[in-house]
Amino acid sequence: MSHSLTEMAGRCADLIASAERIVLLSGAGMSTSAGIPDFRGPEGLYAKLGIENPERIFDIGVFEVNPAFYYKFHREFLRQVEAVQPTWGHRFFARLEKEGRMSGIVTQNIDALHQRAGSAKVLEIHGSIWQSRCTKCGKNYGYRESARKVEAEGIPLCDRCQSVIKPEVVFFGENVMQFEACQELVASADLLFVVGSSLAVTPAAWLPSLCPGNIVVVNKGEISRTWLPSSRVSLHVDEDIDAFFQSVAARMGLDVPADL
């Protein structure tokens, strides 16, 4: 472990100790660390499934006409999610919540790994596979039931009215979810973590500028400075997410169990 990483972990531990309202904004980097590959990469789902027009997968107009096109992707995505576990970073923030330190999480991810790690205070700005809903009568389906229906039926249909069920994932052509609540949560934070996000996708990228307190960025690679100038970042860590938070936990004397 490098000396610089140790120093940054110590600084982060101090910021956590002095904070009263901690909020996390998480992005795709937390999911790729879990083993879920980038959709567009050479080993990603689009290539694996031979999808030639991936931009149409999350097009609400296409879904309404041909839900089978989306569910070809969704079924394999669920299998990948089932095959992985929440990362150490996911469990670290779940542990902070259990200790009463977290005001909440805003996530750009749709994989529900925060909930599986034990976090309850999660706002999913792009929606999630955690819940599904009938497109006609509005009946809700939990993660396990909807996943079972996807495997068994191909295109899952509502038990009540036989209409198509759609996961509560935000498609192109739909508004992001709970944006006002996300804004209020970040604006209340005296310590905001931005983890695994390059801050390139709006409106999520606008949120950190609302934080009046300290901002800690943990991301392997560059982040966009369009909405978050360097002058607003108290600590920027360009290191592996899990390794960094393991070091932070060690400095805090915080035990993060495998099962929360």
How far apart, in Å, are the Cα atoms of 251 and each of 8, 10, 23, 103, 152? 10, 6, 20, 22, 47
Query: Is 98 in a helix, a strand, or coil?
Result: helix
Please say if 236 is a catalytic residue: no
Query: Is 129 in a helix, a strand, or coil?
Result: strand
Look up residue 99 and give its DSSP letter.
T
Calpha distance 156→144 (Å, rounded): 13
Calpha distance 177→107 (Å, rounded): 11
Q: What are phi and psi of 18, to 5 degrees?
A: -95, -5
- Neighbouring CB atoms inside 10 A of 107's CB total 30
Exactly one of 3, 114, 126, 236 is catalytic; which is it?
A: 126
Q: Any long-range contacts for 219-223 (C-beta under 8 Å, 24+ apart)?
A: 219/27, 219/29, 219/194, 219/195, 220/29, 222/198, 223/194, 223/197, 223/198, 223/199
Strands of 122-124's sheet, edge to edge?
122-124, 102-107, 22-26, 191-195, 214-218, 235-237
AA letter at 235: L
Query: Any idea which residues carry the catalytic annotation?
Result: 126
